[in-house]
Amino acid sequence: MASVSAFEYAPAPESRSVVDIAPSYGLFIDGEFVEAADGKVFKTVSPSTEEVLSEVAQAGTADVDRAVKAARKAFEKWSALPGSERAKYLFRIARIIQERSRELAVLETLDNGKPIKETRDADLPLVAAHFFYYAGWADKLSHAGYGENPAPLGVAGQVIPWNFPLLMLAWKIAPALATGNTVVLKPAETTPLSALFFADICRQAGLPKGVVNILPGYGDAGAALTEHPDVNKVAFTGSTAVGKAIARQVAGTDKKVTLELGGKGANIVFDDAPIDQAVEGIVTGIFFNQGQVCCAGSRLLVQESIQEELLFSLKRRLSTLRLGDPLDKNTDIGAINSAEQLSRITALAETGEAEGAERWSPECELPTSGYWFRPTLFTGVTQAHTVARDEIFGPVLSVLSFRTPEEAVAKANNTQYGLSAGIWTEKGSRILAVASRLRAGVVWANTFNKFDPTSPFGGYKESGYGREGGRHGLEAYLNV
C-alpha cells in the first residue's frame, strides 16, 4: 500500500526452501499414512498465488470408521498410562514444534495465506505453549477441581477451521491427550498440510499408534465423525450454521460437546483512551489474519466526541499497511483463504454500500493472482445495517458511535453473538464496570487478540458453548 513513511522497504521474503512439501499425502490412521478407502484425493492451493501445493487423500465414511476404531483400540493403553508418562509425550511434541517452528510457519503461510510474521510470531509460539501447558496438567488432574482421579471420556472427534489450522489443532489435541483421551481430527479442506505435518511430529515423538489420527476431507467427513456412535466427545470450531447442525445431530446422545462458533466483537473506545494505542489495537483487532478471526473486533464503537480524531488517525494508519506476498516479513495483510471466502466478503461489503453505509479503503495495488481484499472501513453505520450484524470474516470494520457507557454496552450486546469485546480507556474502574456488563466470553482491556494457554476462551449465545484453554479446558475432556 502507499507508504507515508520516508523509508521504503526492500522485500524481505522468507525462504520457501525451509519446508519440503511432498506431491501427495495420505490420511494418518493408526500411526501410518494410508490412502482413502475409495481412493479419492483433492488438491490444496496456496491462496496468495493459486498454485497447487499438494494432493491430499480425501477421507470418507469408511475412513472415519477405521480411524475411530484405531483410536478406540489405542485408548485402553493410553488412558491407563500414568499422567507423568503422558506428559513426557506432550513435552516432546512441544519441543519438536519449537525446533520445527520455522518450517511450520512457512508451511502455514503457504497453505493459509496469512503473513509469515503472524505464523512465526503468534501462531507457532502459541501452539508450542499449549502443548507445554497441558503437559503440565497431565499428572495434576486430581487438583483441577473436577474430583479425585477424573476419568477421560474416550475417543474425541475434533473438527477445526482454516483460519488458524495449527493453533486450533493444539487447542483441541493438547487437552485431549493430557486427560487420557485419543483423537480423530479433521482439518479444514483448504488447509490440511500443517495437520499432516503434525502427524509426522507425533511419529517423531514416538506417540503410540492410534492415539492421534488425522483425516483431511470435506464436510461429509466431519459429519461422519461427529455422528459416529463410538465417538464420546465432539469439539468443533467453525461457523454457527454448522455448529447448530452438530448440536441437533448429537441431541439425545451421551456425547459431550464444545462448540466455538462465530462472532461480531465490539471494540469500544472511550474519550479518555490513548488514541495511538487504540488505533494499533483496532488494527490488530480487525486486520490480523485479514479479519478471518472469530473473535475479531469487527464493530468499532467510538465515543462521539473523539470519533473524528480517531477516524483520521485510523485512516492514516491503514494507509501505511503493506498488502502482498505473505512470505515477505514486511507484509501486514496477506491473502484471503479461498475464492469462496473472498466472494462472501465481497458480497457483504457490497450489501453495506447498497444499504447506505460509507465505504473507504486506502489506495492499494492488489496482486494479479490469488485472493485479495483491501482493508475496508464502513462509517455512517447503524445497528440495522447488515455489516453491523453479520459476521463478514474478512478485513472489514464497521464504525458506530455512542455517547454514554450505557449506550456503548447496549450497542455492544445488541448482537446474536457473544465471543469477544475490547475496552479502551485509562480508567480501571470503567474497564471493570463495562466488562462485567458485556455478554462476551473474553473481554480485552487496552489490548486485543491477546491469547494465553492458561486463559479460557469461548462464547455466549450463537458463539457457542464450552471453554477451551486454561483449567476450564480440561473439563470438556473429563467425565466430571
Partners of 28 in the beta sheet?
A: 33, 214
The one catalytic residue in 189, 260, 391, 462 is 260
The one catalytic residue in 294, 391, 462, 468 is 294
Alpha-carbon distance values, 376 to 346, 348, 360, 362 (Å): 11, 12, 6, 8
Q: Which parts of 266-305 fold into alpha helices (H)?
A: 275-287
Q: Name every residue whose Cβ is closer than 8 Å to that of residue 66 and which is 6 or more positions away in sequence.
A: 29, 30, 37
Residue 7 has, within 13 A of its CA and on its CB side, a CA count of 4
- Identity (one letter) of the amino acid at 351? T
Query: CA 356, CA 344: separation in Å to the nearest integer?
Result: 19
SS3 330: coil
Query: Which residue is it, cell 454500500?
Result: 353
C-alpha cell at 293: 478471526
12 contacts 115 by C-beta, under 8 angstroms: no
With 0-12 / 13-18 / 19 or more C-beta atoms within 10 angstroms meaning exposed / middle / buried, residue 439 is middle
Query: CA 297, CA 420: separation in Å to the nearest integer?
Result: 7
Q: Name every residue whose Cβ is closer than 8 Å to that of residue 427 and which is 6 or more positions away in sequence.
A: 270, 272
Query: CA 269, CA 114: separation in Å to the nearest integer?
Result: 27
Query: CA 459, CA 129: separation in Å to the nearest integer?
Result: 22
CB atoms within 10 A of CB 165: 27
Query: CA 301, CA 127: separation in Å to the nearest integer?
Result: 32
Residue 156, φ and ψ in degrees, nearest 5: -100, 125
Packed helices 405-413 and 428-435: angle between N→C axes, nearest 10 degrees: 40
Active site residue 406: no
Q: What is the DSSP letter of 232?
A: -
Query: CA 87, CA 134: separation in Å to the nearest integer?
Result: 8
Active site residue 202: no
For the chain, the C-alpha Rg in angstroms (whole number) is 22
Torsion of CA 385, 391, 392, 398, to 10 degrees: 50
Annotated catalytic residues are: 260, 294
